[in-house]
């Protein structure tokens, strides 16, 4: 059965007869009559009773008309959705990000993006930055927002992110605008797990400087570390894009000598997999949004500018 047969059937009903329907469809009456007979033969049901020059729906035709119209409507919706997908106005986009990126960047961005792109459904996957590339490789996500750079993937630079020391204002290190990694060697530390990019940066700097940190806690939740730092439990080392609210805390970039420890937050995708047009629109708008006001700007600005390509070493750390 072809959709055109159902369109002919519906057209005859709407026109009230084959002759009027043939005029509307720009067909001859015999040709339209053959199409209706072919449909009746295929489904094994007589759709019309012929009364002189008029046709009248049979009981079976009445029942099948609703189904035919529903199928035609679904087919039209499918075509419209296909066109919308091509135009980039509708579809499903899967985005992976770290907890802090979801909270500080994507929450305010999505409030704006959903208003301008109501037809695009964005689903999120939360994980540590370096692990997000595994999700891309498996095809579980289209995009990864991470500062753990990997040159195997295509990417768009968004904003700088640095390792940030968070401590109570009464802490002895709180007098410094920047803090060298060596100065943290004797301080009780609270760090993210090793599957987070910031932890990899920090560990690499400690290894280079032969610093053996005193680690009180490892966590996948940056806000837990910040909360403990607030009560004076120790110094938390988290990425600068962690959302910090309230008072009583001192925030400082962590340095490795004259160089700030950090990397560039990017939107990355697999170069050999199709990125939908609406995915490209998401990246473009996110980049513009981040340029205007990226999370952690106040802390990043305390340190020397981050070098281009910073953070790319993290993929080689064992």
Position 314 scores a pLDDT of 36
Same domain, 165 and 247: yes
Rounded to whole angstroms, the Cα distance separating 72 from 146 reads 45
Q: pLDDT truncated to tens, each residue of the chain (318 aa)?
A: 788 888 988 888 888 888 888 888 899 989 988 998 998 899 898 988 887 767 888 898 888 888 888 888 788 767 766 766 676 678 899 999 998 999 999 999 999 999 999 999 999 999 888 889 989 988 889 999 998 778 889 999 999 999 999 999 999 999 999 999 999 998 999 999 998 889 999 999 999 999 999 999 999 999 999 999 999 999 999 999 999 988 899 999 999 999 999 999 999 999 988 888 899 999 999 999 999 989 999 999 999 888 776 654 333 322
Phi, psi (5° rounding) for residue 55? Answer: -125, 150
CATH number of the structural domain spanning residue 26: 1.10.10.10
Position 3 scores a pLDDT of 87
- Could you tell me where the DSSP H helices lie in 26-171? 29-43, 59-87, 99-101, 107-116, 132-138
Q: Provide the residue range defining the domain that includes 197.
A: 160-260
pTM comes to: 0.68
CATH number of the structural domain spanning residue 99: 3.40.190.10
For residue 115, tell me if it sits in a domain: yes
Position 159 scores a pLDDT of 94
Phi, psi (5° rounding) for residue 59? Answer: -60, -40
How many H helices and E strands in the chain?
A: 11, 13
For residue 313, tell me if it sits in a domain: no
For residue 310, tell me if it sits in a domain: no
First and final CA of the chain: distance in angstroms?
61
Same domain, 141 and 192: no
For residue 138, tell me if it sits in a domain: yes
Rounded to whole angstroms, the Cα distance separating 51 from 54 reads 5
For residue 167, tell me if it sits in a domain: yes
CATH number of the structural domain spanning residue 186: 3.40.190.290
Residue 263's nearest CA partner among 298, 310, 295 is 310
Same domain, 251 and 274: no
Q: What burial class does residue 9 get, using C-beta atoms within 10 Å of its C-beta: 0-12 exposed, 13-18 middle, 19+ buried?
A: buried
Same domain, 169 and 250: yes
**Domain count of the fold of the chain:** 3
For residue 305, tell me if it sits in a domain: no
Q: What is the CA radius of gyration of the chain?
A: 31
Same domain, 200 and 166: yes
One-character DSSP codes across 65-100: HHHHHHHHHHHHHHHHHHHHHHHTSSEEEEEEE-HH
Same domain, 153 and 164: no
pLDDT tens digits for range 21-50: 888 889 998 998 899 899 889 989 898 888
Residue at token pair 């119209």: 69
Q: Are 89 and 119 in contact (CB under 8 A)?
A: yes
């Amino acid at each position: 059965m072809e959709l055109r047969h159902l369109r002919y059937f519906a057209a005859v009903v709407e026109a009230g007869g084959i002759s009027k329907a043939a005029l509307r469809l720009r067909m001859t009456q015999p040709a339209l009559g053959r199409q209706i007979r072919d449909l009746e033969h295929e489904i094994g049901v007589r759709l019309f009773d012929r009364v002189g020059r008029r046709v009248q729906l049979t009981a079976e035709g009445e029942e099948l008309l609703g189904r035919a119209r529903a199928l035609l409507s679904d087919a039209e919706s499918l075509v419209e959705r296909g066109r919308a997908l091509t135009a980039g106005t509708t579809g499903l986009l899967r985005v992976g990000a770290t907890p802090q990126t979801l909270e500080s960047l994507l929450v305010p961005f999505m409030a704006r993006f959903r208003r301008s792109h109501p037809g695009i459904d964005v689903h999120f996957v939360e994980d540590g930055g370096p692990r997000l590339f595994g999700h891309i490789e498996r095809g579980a996500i289209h995009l990864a927002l991470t500062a753990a750079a990997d040159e195997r993937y295509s990417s768009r630079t968004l904003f700088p992110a640095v390792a940030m020391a968070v401590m109570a204002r009464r802490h002895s290190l709180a007098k410094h605008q920047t803090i060298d990694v060596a100065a943290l060697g004797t301080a009780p530390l609270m760090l993210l797990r090793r599957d987070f990019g910031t932890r990899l940066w920090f560990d690499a700097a400690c290894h280079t400087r032969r610093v053996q940190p005193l680690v009180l806690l490892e966590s996948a939740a940056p806000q837990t570390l910040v909360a403990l730092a607030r009560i004076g439990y120790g110094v938390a080392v988290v990425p600068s894009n962690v959302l910090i609210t309230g008072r009583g805390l001192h925030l400082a970039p962590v340095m490795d000598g004259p160089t700030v420890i950090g990397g560039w937050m990017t939107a990355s995708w697999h170069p050999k997999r199709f990125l939908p047009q609406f995915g490209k629109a998401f990246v473009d708008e996110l980049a513009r949004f981040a340029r205007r006001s990226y999370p952690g700007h106040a802390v990043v600005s305390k340190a020397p500018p981050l070098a281009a390509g910073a953070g790319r070493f993290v993929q080689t750390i064992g």
